[in-house]
Amino acid sequence: MNKQMMKQMKELQAKMAKVQEELGNTEVEASAGGGAVQVVIDGHQNFRSVKISPDAVDLDDLGLLEDLVLTAINEAIKKSQDLAQSRMGDLTGGLNIPGLM
């Protein structure tokens, strides 16, 4: 590789590291049941919090609450993955480079 290409690779690596750090500090929120269950996750798919409204707790129908929690979790993961893909896509110009996401 020539020096110019090596320089560009190092710049891309530095930018990718910065984006990864930003993703770890960025939170996305998802909810289900009209806000009865709220989940906060970061850009690395680490959960930060889960909040459940007391109104969502019905001891006679815990299955509904479980479904709401799963729905909120899955939506939060999707939002976090979309965020990571978008941020990395900005760096790679939309190229799908294996191992980056």
Residue scoring higher pLDDT (101 or 8)? 8
CATH number of 60's domain? 3.30.1310.10
DSSP 42: E
Predicted pLDDT at 65: 95
pTM: 0.76
Domain region containing 46: 27-92
Would you place residue 96 in the very low, low, confident or very high pLDDT band (cuts 50, 70, 90)? low
Per-residue model confidence as pLDDT tens digits over 20-73: 899 989 999 999 999 999 999 999 999 999 999 999 999 999 999 999 999 999
Q: Is residue 1 part of a domain?
A: no
Cβ burial 22-48 (10 Å sphere, 16+ → b, else e): ebeebebebbbbeebbbbbbbbeeeee
Q: Is residue 13 part of a domain?
A: no
Predicted pLDDT at 2: 85
